[in-house]
Structure 1
Amino acid sequence: MPPMPRHPIPMVPPMTDHEYEAFDLAGPLPTGITLLQASAGTGKTFALAALAVRSIAELGLSASELCVVTFTEAATSELRGRIRERIAEAIAHLEATAHLDPDVAITTDPVLIALGRGTDGQPIESAEHLLRLARLRTALDEFDTATISTIHGFCSRVLAIAGGASADTPISSDTDHIVELINDLFVSRFSGSTPAPVTPAQLLRAVETRLKLPDARLYRWNVDDPGPNAGARVRNEFTRSGKIAVVADLVDEVVELVLQQRTDQRRRTYDSLITDARAHIVSSDGVGTVASLRARFSLVMIDEFQDTDQVQWSMFRTAFLDSNSQGISSPVTSSPVTTVLVGDPKQSIYRFRSAELSAYLGALEYARTNGRVFSLRVNWRSDRAVLDGLDHLFGGLAFGDPRIVFESVDAAPDHDVSPFAIAGAPATAAVELRTIGVSGAPAARTVAFADLVAEIIRLLNTATIERDGIAQPLRPSDIGVLVRSNADASRCARALNEAGVPAASSSADSVLGSTAARHWRWLADALARPSSASLVRTAATTWFIGLDGPSIAALTDERLSELIEQVRGWATDLTEGGLPRLMASLRAGGLAGRVLAAPSGERDLTDLEHIAELLQSATSGRPISPAALSDLLTGMSAGAGDTEAESTELLGRRIDRDDDTVKVLTLHKAKGLEFPVVLCPTLWAAPSGSRGSLKHGEVGGQRLIEICKLASNAEPLKGYKDVVAADKQETDGEELRLIYVALTRARHRLVVWWNPPASGQPPLATVLGAAIGTDAKNVEVAALVAASNGTISEVAAVSGPPPALARAAVPTPTLEVASISRNLRDDWRIWSFTAINSASGDHASPSAPGAAVWQVQPEAAPLLGGADEFAGDDPETLDPATPALTPLQSAPAGPAFGTLVHSALERVDFTSGELDAELTSACAALMNHRPLAIAPAALASGLINALQAPLGGPLGSTSLVEVTQVDRRNELDFDLPLAAFDASKIASVMLDHLPSTDPLHPWFVEAAAGALDVSLDGMLTGSIDLVARTVIGDQPCFWIADYKTNLIRTGDYSGPALATAMHHSGYALQATIYLVALHRFLRWRLGAAYEPQSQLLGAAYLFLRGMDPANDSADPAGVHWFQPPLAAIEALDLLFATGAAS
């Protein structure tokens, strides 16, 4: 995988205090590229929401023209809520001031004030006032059309615009696939006398690092052969350089295999989602996508930009900013889009997730050269006293790079006087250093935690915070304890709880590394093999059954048989009802009581339910086999990091209590949070060494990965020392930034423990040393306090039993059973074609004798692929006289075959010149897991036959092999709200418009007469096999294809026979639902350009067994078209939305 070309990173001059102009939220709206450089607490989200509201009101942007990207689901949810809230506030303000004198001030909010003024600062005219109000009201109504998403959501949109099946590829970890590939390589290459240069585990580390950093390269140190007479040192360097080259070649080879495998198997990870989107954007194929993005969006805002990397920056830069003159590969002719980047480089702490500070610095220089850079300079979080103390601690400190220097910020106007007070204690500084003075880290931790507990109890007993003008006691939830490691978090929470202080811990380590995950794996193994006595015995030790060691040893054969039957019953629950039914059975057996009986019960139950939620999400709640559940758990665990740094937002362990508790958090988990009181008992300790990724750093503008030790188990050679030094500089800088994150969470009071290091240079020592102009080894807290002008105080930490906690400090809430004052509805549910068809009874049974060869599946969930096809067809029961009209005529029947065919068709490009080989490969891969009585090549041949067949109807001789990847969308999922009405109305409305000559007219007559007697209310969900676009004349037209592998025993796939099949299986209802869904989708995507009368062609039901290239294009066998009048679709669209068709 050759590295992508990168934009050069010019050297940005060091930042100085207030180098950039303060950003005025009420000033001129930005154009072009603008970078807002923030500090902790300066209101990044507030600024983004303000720009969105003002752009809508003043510039006339619609909600759909707004694109906001951030990096976590939580941040996305917060941004979405904040922007919607600000739009509502702006509407309320403009409504309240519509008839007031412009000079009458009713708010001090600068954004709301700006909405009533023009660019000259003068009040706007009444007409403009009403226009801005109307724009905001429309934006609120259409808010869901705004793109406010994570970086992965944005990349999914890019790939969707690019078109093709790749946009729908599921996202998952592929670590297990990489491990399998590496093991296969070792077996084939190093199983003989050839020794392997590295172990499989070492190779996996290198490959994963290389995949995580796609633009990096392995540093190769080439040494020419010095000849046999060279000295030992020179010869040794030559030998080692050769070993390094072998390892580097091996890593690159595996990476190429992984990338090829991802493409061939349509597999995508979260990292590859971003790299795939970037690769498309910067290529010549991305010209249309860039133009589409620039045409759609008028304002792009990217939050937390300090956490980006070079891949993301080059993608955003190409997509929205660059022109041909700036050296991009694709010929962009559209104008750049107004783009606002917001970030605080002092909070760049996600290097382990491939964040590159150099990307932020490159964007900074780009903005300095091509746009504007502003700073957010008012802290809305902390009291002035806290900010003064932080100024003294951080003043002049560079955070790992001379270009990133601490910037002093102003306190908000109402933060001059703190609402926090401690009764009966002398006034102390808002920032306090508590000195430990004990040798050895274990002993120092013991003192720190004992002193921490005592200090928290003291504060709960005596401290108050003024809220709404009333001094109220400090609550446990007002306190945040920030620690370095997961172990520290657990120990701290345990110590607080033992002292009677309610505490809950949360860390960034993966829930899949917890005890609960181990119990889940043991249960899944037993569910997969319930007849195995040993696996059932192991499962019996879990919380799900709850037997201890002596009870297991004393199991009788009769009791063991009961346990086996119990596990077998759970396996049946899983197979028939999925995770929801399994969890219901487990809970009914007293699961929660058993778990909560242990001291760590709340923590364990939280983890157990978290994993259940992950499994349910991964399976969509659908039935799953125990073996598949076991494989899913294994795959999820393989993809989860085993360190705090490697865990994802989704897998991070959650707070185990949501009541009034002290929150104990690791530093990464605390980012973005704030507390009235923050205590940091372990920042004095040196950070633990990182595991996992290899060392890497930027050398000469290129990120290099160091594999010297991996290859030769020796100290780095000359060239590699540069990489190691760069890695250390980046790591040390990030540690300093973690200190900044920790110390900027406090609103009113900050307490930090300090203990001099016995060796090394912990980051806190660097901070304290820099504050008094000395090195980290000679920190004197007394000198620091003396020089702080009273902004920092010193207290000696003490160990010993904590004071008693006053009962009033932690009030116990009075609980009562909730009462429900309204009637609960039990008729609202999620419907699908299959659910409606099943609930309607036997209306779909054929009226003609001897025609009952189709059966409707009874599942209520929406079915994908071939799962809506029928299991009763058996090729061995065909009439022997029936000729095999097409190659698929003698293929197996049933849902399994249908699902395989659907999957194979989704994987291939119909227009590929290698379609035969690609389809054969896809069939073979799928049949590895689902063997069928047909050879992959024979199946592929039959499918190609169908793909080359004419489609007839409005498409005439056009075949599927003419549908390109960009003109097709596989498995278009939809979820539509359903008003309350009887399903028979669908048929009645259709009969109002459908000609009586339509082959499906009789089905709608039966359905309207009562065969479709189902009360609907809720949501309608489904998945359309294929939505395709075909240009007819000069107009793009859209149509639906639904693949059917139904086996008709007579072998007759002519029009009348297919109409009978459509009738008896209820496919008329399915086609109707799908056309309404597509109509809504096109109306939303195309807007005013959508002309449904000519562009909505209808639904083609493709009975693949009957399709053949030799068929008559005017009325081809195997193809049934349903083309109801547009008036019917529009009336049904209204019926679904309102319950009435007019």
Structure 2
Amino acid sequence: MLADVLAHQAARLLAQVDGERQLTCFLQLGELLQEARANATQPRGLGPQGQIDWLRAAIANADRDDYEQTPRLESDAGRVQILTLHASKGLEFPLVFLPFVALGRKRNDPDMAVYQWRGERVRQVETAARHGDEPDWVEACRLHFEDERSEDMRLLYVGLTRARDALWVWGGAVTNHAESALERLLGGPRPSEELRQALGERLRVMDAQTPDAADTTRLPPSPQPATPPAREATRKLRRDWWIHSFSQLHRQKPHGAHAVQDEAPATDERPLAAMPPAVFESVDPRFRGERFGNAVHHALEHADFARWRDHAGDTPPAMQREVLVAALQSQDYAPDHLEDGVRALTPLVAATLNTPLPEGGRLCELPPAARVPEIEFHFTLADADSAAFLQLLHAHGIARDRRDFGVWPRLSGLMNGKIDLTYVNAGRVHVLDYKSNLLPAYDEATLAEAMRASEYDLQALLYVVALHRWLRVRCGAEYDYARDFGGVRYLFCRGLERAADEDGGMRGLIAPRFDATLVAAVDVLLGGGGRA
């Protein structure tokens, strides 16, 4: 029935790209189903539903080593198998070609002789001492080569006995032919007279000949396509294209050739010049500096904010100890330092997530849907004039200590960075950055000096421009910076642990503001111009 259906549909199927493949697969499935029905234990066979169930089970338990389940060739035109003589053992084929059996081994002196000796396999090394009656090294090598020749002859026998209808063997005076099993079998490069008489008409010997150009039975050689002329560059490549970042720009502050060195991670541990030694001595040296700062960031990135609500003490909340341990392990802290590290991290994370925010509320009260950690950005720098950019920054009191941008008179390429936390609170979007700097104090004046010395004001402005571009793309004409953007918050975690200022302000938090005019001007100057 299936064969009749396919015969009626063959013209339509064969008109498709994989029509021949579909026909072959349908026929193969039909044979498998027919075989399953014949092997069924039920007296009346499987029936239609039983065959469907059998097919589903066969698909679910497919066996790639089962030859019957291997997709068949859709055409006999491709039924040529290339096998090694080893792999052809036990197989039979209608036609067999042996194109390489006349090539003999190149027999080099062995480092180890392997041979049969009194019915056992023996391995003998030239420098090894003899422990029994095994032969000396010269004799061992002779036996080794004899075993190789015997194995070559056994393989040749395998190849010569695979054919059912016809066998083609190529030979002659080729590379190392004297060492080949074929020449030893034939008694020379060509069959001996005795072999010709024994095989009679079953053996045909043809001399090698070049193809006849007039022979129309051979496919003509493929025409070689004409080599096109070499293409010439028609545009000038920019050598000052770069993937910039705030860390890289900050290192260009003392400008010079070192500005183009490979970028290294920036550290949050940038002490002020007048840092009292007692400040450092009051903190365990294991838990300060860039390494511990990265652990703080890791912990705040993966913490469950709600579990830290109103938390106090050195013991983390339920299910949060693992987060702190993972943060320390991410910075390769030794196992015997983890407990101390958890005690050092816990008050910092708790203070950061419970500090009152300028717009109201706390981070621990923000639902997960209202915050996104570690947003990475790349925004376009379209050949911005660095001198004009610096002049604009100075006009707004930003990066006042900077005199240029090092070796880059123009900024081209991409600006890259990661924002520690972006969140929505009181209906507006905010940018937040965690800092673990060790400072002599965390009042507003000291924080302002730290922001200036480390150029965090420039960092904050770049983050704002990045988020400004993204919001403009996502929200379109509905987006308004003055209405939708809430500002930047820099949380200096070590200062947040301390009590509030006498005037009620919280230590350790500073919120730089950038008006819409400045953000728009920087966006345009850097090449935004309405683009993302």
TM-score (structure 2 length as normaliser): 0.56
Q: Do structure 1's residue 398 and structure 2's residue 29 form an aligned pair? A: yes
Q: Give yes or no for contact 1:1039–1:1099 (8 Å, CA) kept in 2.
A: yes
Given that 1:974 and 1:1022 are in contact with CA atoms closer than 8 Å, whether structure 2 keeps it comes out as: yes
Aligned-pair CA distance for 1:1061: 0.8
Q: 1:1064 aligns with which of 453, 466, 469?
A: 453
In the other structure, the counterpart of 1:847 is: none
CA distance in 2, matches of 1:889, 1:935: 10
Residue 79 of structure 2, aligned match among 741, 752, 765: 752
Q: SS state of the match for residue 970, structure 1? A: strand
Q: Tell me how far apart the structure 2 counterparts of residues 900 and 907 of structure 1 sit (CA, whole Å).
A: 11
Question: AA paired with 2:324?
Answer: C
**Displacement after TM superposition at 1:962 (Å):** 1.8
Give the 3-state SS of the residue equivalent to 1:973 in structure 2. Answer: strand
TM-score (norm 1): 0.28
Distance 2:504 2:68 in 1: 73
Pairwise CA distance, 1:983: 2.9
Aligned partner letter, 1:1099: V
Query: Which residue, out of 1046, 1060, 1085, partners 2:437?
Result: 1046
SS at match of 1:904: helix
1:1133 alignment partner, one of 520, 523, 530: 523
Q: Which has the higher helix share?
A: 1
| C-alpha displacement of 1:1111 | 2.5
For residues 1077 and 796 of structure 1, what CA distance do their matches in structure 2 show?
A: 76
Q: Is the contact made by 1:1046 and 1:1103 (CA closer than 8 Å) also made in structure 2? A: yes
Aligned length: 370
Aligned to 2:288: 893
Q: Are residues 800 and 1066 of structure 1, via their aligned partners in 2, closer, same or farther at CA, if it must alter by over 3 Å?
A: farther
Aligned to 1:924: 325
**Pick aligned residue for 1:950 from 352, 355, 358:** 355
Shift of 1:1040: 1.2
* C-alpha spacing 1:799/1:835, structure 2 compared with 1 (3 Å): farther
Alignment of 1:603-1002 (within 5 A): 729-731=61-63, 739=71, 743=74, 750-753=77-80, 799-801=168-170, 809=222, 811=224, 820=233, 822-841=235-254, 860-861=262-263, 863=265, 867-870=266-269, 878-880=276-278, 892-912=287-307, 916-928=317-329, 929-931=332-334, 935-953=340-358, 955-956=359-360, 958-990=361-393, 994=396, 1001=397
Structure 1 residue runs without a partner (length 5+): 1-13, 19-375, 403-699, 701-721, 761-794, 844-855, 995-1000
Give the C-alpha shift of residue 972 in structure 1. 0.6
- Residue matched to 2:95: none
C-alpha change, 1:1083 and 1:1122, in structure 2 (3 Å) is same
Aligned residue identity for 2:424 = R
What SS does the aligned partner of 1:1063 have? helix
Q: CA deviation at 1:1107?
A: 0.8
Partner Cα distance (1:911, 1:378) in 2: 64
User: Aligned with 1:826: secondary structure?
Assistant: coil
Partners of 1:734 and 1:1085 lie apart in 2 by 54
Q: CA deviation at 1:810?
A: 8.0
* Cα deviation digits, residues 366-421 of structure 1 (max 9, x gap): xxxxxxxxxx9795536xxxx4x55763454438997xxxxxxxxxxxxxxxxxxx
Q: Which runs of structure 2 are paired with 1:227-266 in the superposition (5 Å)? A: none
Shift of the 1095–979 alpha-carbon distance from structure 1 to 2, 3 Å rule, reads same
Give yes or no for contact 2:386–2:404 (8 Å, CA) kept in 1.
Answer: no
Go from structure 1 to structure 2 and tell me whether the alpha carbon gap of 1:1111 and 1:798 turns closer, same or farther (over 3 Å shift). farther
Change in CA separation of 1:1128 and 1:729 when aligned onto 2, cut-off 3 Å: same
1:1055 pairs with 2:452:
no
Contact 2:523 2:529 in 1 (8 A): no
The alpha carbon displacement at 1:1079 in A equals: 1.4
Q: Aligned pair 1:1095/2:496, yes or no?
A: no
Q: Give the CA deviation at 1:980.
A: 0.3
Provide the identity percentage. Answer: 23
Does the CA-based 8 Å contact 2:296-2:345 persist in structure 1? no
What whole-Å deviation, never above 9, does each CA across 1:976-1028 have from its counterpart, x for those lacking one?
A: 12100233433434566x4xxxxxx2x34444x64677321111111111111
Partner of 2:473: 1084
1:546-565 equivalences in 2 (<5 Å): none
Q: Report the aligned-residue RMSD.
A: 5.0
**1:1088 and 1:823, CA in 2 relative to 1: closer, same or farther beyond 3 A?**
closer
Cα pair 1:834 1:857 within 8 Å, conserved: no
Aligned partners of 2:442 and 2:507 also within 8 Å = yes
Say whether residues 1:1120 and 2:510 are aligned partners. yes
Structure 2: distance between partners of 1:734 and 1:1028: 57
The CA distance in 2 between the partners of 1:969 and 1:733, in whole Å, is 49
Change over 3 Å in CA distance of 1:832–1:378 after alignment to 2: farther
Task: Give the counterpart letter for 1:1045 in structure 2.
Answer: S
Cα drift, residue 895 of structure 1: 1.3
Q: 2 CA distance for matches of 1:1057 and 1:393?
A: 80
| 1:1106-1136 deviation digits (Å, cap 9, x = unpaired) | 1137435963211121220122222322223
Cα drift, residue 882 of structure 1: 9.1
| Preserved CA contact (<8 Å) 1:974 1:1021 | yes
Of the three residues 464, 477, 492, the one matched with 1:1075 is 464
AA aligned opposite 2:78? V
Change (3 A) 1:924 1:394: closer
1:1128 match: secondary structure: helix
State the distance in 2 between where 1:1040 and 1:973 align: 13
Contact 2:491–2:508, Cα closer than 8 Å, also in 1: yes
Matches within 5 A, 1:437-476: none
Q: Any conservation in 1 of the 2:352–2:491 contact (CA below 8 Å)?
A: no
Distance 2:241 2:483 in 1: 36
- SS of the residue 1:912 aligns to: helix
Per the alignment, in what secondary structure is the counterpart of residue 307 of structure 2? coil
After TM superposition, give the deviation of residue 939 of structure 1 in Å: 1.7
Asked if the contact 2:494–2:508 (Cα under 8 Å) also holds between the matched residues in 1, the reply is: yes
Q: Which residue of the partner structure matches residue 175 of structure 2?
A: none
Q: CA deviation at 1:824?
A: 3.4
Matches within 5 A, 1:152-551: 381=17, 387=19, 390=21, 393-398=24-29
Shift of residue 1137, structure 1, vs aligned partner: 2.6
1:916/1:940 contact within 8 Å kept? no
Distance 2:168 2:510 in 1: 83
- For residues 880-925 of structure 1, what are the alpha-carbon distances to aligned partners after superposition, in whole Å with 9 as ceiling and x for unaligned? 38997xxx79873221111111112112111126953444333323
Looking at structure 1, the residues matched to 26 and 262 of structure 2 have their Cα atoms a distance apart, in angstroms, of 64
CA distance in 1, matches of 2:32, 2:522: 62
Q: Secondary structure at the match of 2:62?
A: helix
- Counterpart AA for 1:985: A
1:812 Cα deviation after fit: 9.5
Q: Retained in 2: the 8 A contact 1:949–1:1108? A: no
Q: Distance between the aligned counterparts of 2:381 and 2:66, measured in 1? A: 51
> Structure 2 counterpart of 1:751, which letter?
G
